[in-house]
């Protein structure tokens, strides 16, 4: 779209906003895509065109758009108590009830819940509370956090340091010095020739132990991991990965932090990705589908040792010097309670288990295309990684351009997805039906063909 054809709203947008994860110069030429409304798995733009929202917004609208129960829960709470905080010992019923419900659902012995507004705030709080705990326990040196290349844990100074993506580090002077990044557990790309998934997992666990010993076990506080790596490319852990890694963590008393911001609340065909991939967390971060994406709310669940240490520290100081103005917002907690009730009453986890095989089969059918390197996924998450060499983990000379083109081809055919480098990510609302899965995936072969022809014409493929 030429600059002189931009709508008034698009021009206003350019002059008023800075868009995250957006190429600002290109946006001045194309204008922003104006989304006007949403219903079910669909959103409609200001021109009246309807799209399948194949990424559930940003991995978060698990119940789709326009769910009347969630809207009504927010409206009712706004009428009763539109805002209050949890500072200075004050509280309200929605915050208490939600914490109790989370403790009931979580696959860990959660002792306390701490609220924030986003996944970044939850993971930033994890770092601070783990440091706080180790100071209280008399372990002031135990402060380093282990993360993974291609992991995604947020964008604050601390959590962007945990995130293992160059875009989040370059020109931001990150990562901060307390973070160490381990190898990405992507068997297709990182395994040695002939190495099985189990052997690869064992090697990564050995590398973890080597890292802890090299750094000094007395300095390593925690390991943070997404059950499935989302923004890093929808990377599913290899066979036996988390049990092997956790055996090492327990040996050196290193906290296991599960980042369930994307995987939680049914996405992987269990309530939590930790259940799907045999993770036994000491603490857990949640957000996104916690409210179905309808309100900014996050939560940290901590085990008893962590909770007791935090409470002991807060008791011997004037107060716990950490918290957020909107953490535990009553409307957010009310919406989260409504979302959890819907997940249970409508058996969303059971629904995901029923429709996920259809989605995964359609995704994997694309693996035969000459532009596709690997199709992978779990539950209602999927990634289609493109390669200049069919079926091989080769890189394009200009990374990201072919993936972006495929995303554009799918958009032109009525499906909104997200390119993560040269991986096309799928994460539809969990309420999607089998027929709607077919609608979402039907344009993919034609879009792949069009992208393949473009890539060849533009010199992105071998002659």
Strands 255-259 and 283-286: parallel
Digit-coded pLDDT (tens) for 242-267: 999 999 999 999 999 999 999 999 99
Encoded tokens for 32: 């922003």
Check residue 166 and report its DSSP letter: G
At 3 the pLDDT is: 57
pTM over 0.85: yes
Encoded tokens for 102: 């989370």
Distance, in Å, from the CA atom of 203 to the CA atom of 248, rounded to the nearest integer, reads: 12
Whether the pLDDT of residue 4 is over 90: the answer is no
Say how far residue 80 (Cα) sits from the centre of its chain: 32
Residue 281 Cα distances to 26, 94, 125, 240, angstroms: 42, 25, 16, 16
Distance, in Å, from the CA atom of 121 to the CA atom of 117, rounded to the nearest integer, reads: 6
Distance, in Å, from the CA atom of 408 to the CA atom of 334, rounded to the nearest integer, reads: 37
Instruction: Give the model's confidence band at 177: pLDDT under 50 very low, under 70 low, under 90 confident, else very high.
Output: very high
Strands 112-116 and 381-386: unpaired
At 1 the pLDDT is: 40
* Residues of the chain above pLDDT 90, percent: 97
**What's the mean pLDDT in 388-413?**
96
Q: Could you give the domains of the chain?
A: 33-66+347-457 (3.90.1150.10), 69-345 (3.40.640.10)
List, in order, residues 6 or more apart from 321 with CB less than 8 Å away: none
Residue 390: other Cβ atoms inside 10 A: 14
* Residues of the chain above pLDDT 70, percent: 99
Whether the pLDDT of residue 47 is over 50: the answer is yes
Digit-coded pLDDT (tens) for 261-313: 999 999 999 999 999 999 999 999 999 999 999 999 999 999 999 999 999 99
The residue with tokens 């269990």 is 270
Q: What are phi and psi of 30, to 5 degrees?
A: -95, -30
Go through 409-436 and write b for each residue having 16 or more CB atoms within 10 A of its CB, e for each that does not.
bbbeebbbbbbbbbbbbbbbbbbbeeeb
Digit-coded pLDDT (tens) for 144-165: 999 999 999 999 999 999 999 9
Whether the pLDDT of residue 406 is over 60: the answer is yes
């Amino acid at each position: 779209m030429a600059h002189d054809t931009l709508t008034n709203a698009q021009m206003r947008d350019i002059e008023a906003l800075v868009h995250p994860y957006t190429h600002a110069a290109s946006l001045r030429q194309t204008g922003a895509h104006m989304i006007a409304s949403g219903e079910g798995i669909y959103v409609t733009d200001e021109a009246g065109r309807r799209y399948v929202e194949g990424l559930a917004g940003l991995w978060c609208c698990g119940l789709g758009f326009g769910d009347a129960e969630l809207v009504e829960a927010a409206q009712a709470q706004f009428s009763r108590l539109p805002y209050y905080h949890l500072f200075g010992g004050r509280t309200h019923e929605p915050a208490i009830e939600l914490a109790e419900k989370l403790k009931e659902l979580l696959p860990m012995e959660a002792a306390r819940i701490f609220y924030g507004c986003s996944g970044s705030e939850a993971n930033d709080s994890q770092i601070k509370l783990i440091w706080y705990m180790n100071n209280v326990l008399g372990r002031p040196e135990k402060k380093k956090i282990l993360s993974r290349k291609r992991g995604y844990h947020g964008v604050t100074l601390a959590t962007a340091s945990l995130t293992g993506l160059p875009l989040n580090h370059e020109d931001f002077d990150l990562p901060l010095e307390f973070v160490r990044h381990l190898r990405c557990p992507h068997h297709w790309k990182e395994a040695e020739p002939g190495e099985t998934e189990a052997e690869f997992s064992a090697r990564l666990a050995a590398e973890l132990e080597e890292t802890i010993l090299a750094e000094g076990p007395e300095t390593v506080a925690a390991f943070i991991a997404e059950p499935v790596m989302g923004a890093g490319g929808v990377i599913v852990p290899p066979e036996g990965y988390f049990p092997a890694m956790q055996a090492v963590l327990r040996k050196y008393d290193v906290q296991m932090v599960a980042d369930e911001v994307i995987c939680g609340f049914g996405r992987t065909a269990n309530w939590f990705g930790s259940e799907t991939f045999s993770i036994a967390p000491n603490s857990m971060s949640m957000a996104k589908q916690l409210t179905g994406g309808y309100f900014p709310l996050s939560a940290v669940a901590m085990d008893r040792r962590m909770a007791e240490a935090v409470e002991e520290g807060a008791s011997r100081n004037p107060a716990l010097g950490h918290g957020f103005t909107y953490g535990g917002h009553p409307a957010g907690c009310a919406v989260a309670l409504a979302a959890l009730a819907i997940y249970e009453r409508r058996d969303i986890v059971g629904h995901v288990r029923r429709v996920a095989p259809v989605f995964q089969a359609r995704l994997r059918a694309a693996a035969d295309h000459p532009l596709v390197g690997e199709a992978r996924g779990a539950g209602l998450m999927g990634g289609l990684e493109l390669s200049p060499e069919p079926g091989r983990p080769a890189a394009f000379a200009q990374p990201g351009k072919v993936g972006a083109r495929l995303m554009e081809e799918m958009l032109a055919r009525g499906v909104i997805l997200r390119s993560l480098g040269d991986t096309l990510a799928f994460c539809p609302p969990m309420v999607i039906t089998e027929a709607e899965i077919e609608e979402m995936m039907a344009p993919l072969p034609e879009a792949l063909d069009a992208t393949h022809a473009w890539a060849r014409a533009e010199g992105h493929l071998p002659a």
